[in-house]
Amino acid sequence: MERVNGYLKEFFQLNNVRYRTGKRAKVHFDLVTLIYNAKIAADRINVVLNQQQVA
């Protein structure tokens, strides 16, 4: 879990979030985690597709 947090902080600027309300910060965090999960899913799909092409 710490690797994920470090990745999000470094590449999605989660350590520099400065909003006046917690609602905006939560929306920002939710969008970042949505994008991160989509990236992980796309990587897994690509691995499966590459394995199918090799076989």
- State which residues form the domain around 27: 2-54
- Per-residue model confidence as pLDDT tens digits over 9-37: 888 777 777 888 888 888 888 888 898 89
**Largest Cα–Cα separation, the chain:** 54
pTM of the complete model: 0.68
Q: How far apart are CA 47 and CA 35, in angstroms?
A: 19
Determine the pLDDT at residue 17: 76
Residues constituting the chain: 55
CB 17 within 8 A of CB 28: yes
8-29 per-residue burial string, b: 16 or more CB within 10 A, e: under 16: beeebebeeeeeeeeeeeeeee
Q: What is the domain count for the chain?
A: 1
Question: Scanning the structure block, which residue is given the tokens 């597709």?
Answer: 49
Asked whether residue 55 carries a pLDDT value surpassing 80, the answer given is: no
